[in-house]
Amino acid sequence: CCVQINGVACLNHWSTKVLYWFIKTWQRPTRQSSFSRFCKVLVACCVQINGVSTSTEKFETMKIELLACLCLFAFAEAFIEPAADLGRIQNRIVSGSPASLGQFPWQVILKKDPIEDLLCGGSIIAANWVLTAGHCTYGLSSIFIMFGTVLLNNPNALNMTSTQLYINPNYNGETLNNDVSLIQLPTPLTFSKYIQPIQLVTNNDANFNFIGQVATIAGFGLTDDDNLDSSNIMLYARVQIINNSQCADVFGTSVVIPSTLCAKGENGTDMSICSGDSGGPLITRDTNGNWMQIGINSFVAQDMCTMMYPSGYARLTSFLGYISQVTGMDFNSY
């Protein structure tokens, strides 16, 4: 009773918007008992219908009435969203704290246009350049950007629309490999207390894996698995970099490659990015105590943001050459 995508990932029915409000009425313990690991990725299938439970064991045939399962499958399949939201991935800040104005002055909000809802986050890396995830700009001809605000809907925030979008030519929408994009601004920014660029990691750190290091994430994305609304205020949280092998156990080796960086909530917490936080920066302190960006928020397990699974990021040390080629910036040292 799960939808298989590309022969690997499963899309859970609970994630479809049509079924969401129906299943939301179930008692939470019943819902949580439905979550199991299936086909080496995370999935929640239709577990209790009229008291008939599905199996929770991996690869075991689910014990459910065929008609009920087929009905749910057909109903969900009709409303599955495009491949940009694969079953194993989505993106938000879970268990975060409110950010103060100017705390993360490089953080930007991306929308398809001024009246659309939140699309993604991004970071200012120079007066005329914003860095974000490839899947945030894929298929778009323009993008609306908001600067210098910790409020999602701030009519007074500085904003621009850019048509100069440079997605990494090796971006793969199925695996989210090379999930990097650059946005050239039509007018250079004037930096202030609330609008500043973030320093990127340098080539000197190309061989540093950051494992065990604590990093910070921020954004306006969803805040738990039950709430489909974005946060109206910027939230931030702390995560710890983990070995890629731990991440590959969840997402597979086609998703987690050397140019991927993975993290989990600090000290075993459920702090995580989630839907809407894509493209935002993963930042940590350099040896001088200055903030530097080491990753781009890329993916998490769909509808599992509070389940303490890893989150994935584009590892910036793997993309400094590409960013330098497009922007002309030098990352050999600061």
Bridge pairing between strands 143-147 and 97-98: unpaired
- The yes-or-no answer on residue 179 being catalytic is yes
Predicted local confidence at residue 303, as pLDDT: 52
180-197 as b/e, with b when 16 or more CB fall inside 10 Å? bbbbebeeebeeeebbbb
- The yes-or-no answer on residue 278 being catalytic is yes
Residue 30 has pLDDT above 80, yes or no: no
Mean pLDDT in residue range 193-216: 94
**What is the torsional sign of CA 118, 120, 124, 127?**
negative
Q: What is the pLDDT of residues 286-313, one digit of tens each?
A: 989 999 999 999 987 665 454 568 889 9
- 179, 205, 225, 303: which is the annotated catalytic residue? 179
Which one, of 39, 31, 86, 84, lies nearest residue 60 by Cα?
A: 39
Non-local CB neighbours of 179 within 8 Å, separated by 6+ positions: 133, 134, 135, 168, 171, 296, 298, 299, 314
Under the banding of pLDDT at 50, 70 and 90, the label for residue 332 is confident
User: Domains of the chain, with CATH numbers?
Assistant: 3-77 (no CATH), 107-196 (2.40.10.10), 199-320 (2.40.10.10)
Here the tokens at position 260 are 């991927």
- 15, 259, 278, 298: which is the annotated catalytic residue? 278
- The yes-or-no answer on residue 135 being catalytic is yes
- Write out the H or E segment, with its range, that includes residue 320: helix 320-327
Residue 147 has pLDDT above 70, yes or no: yes
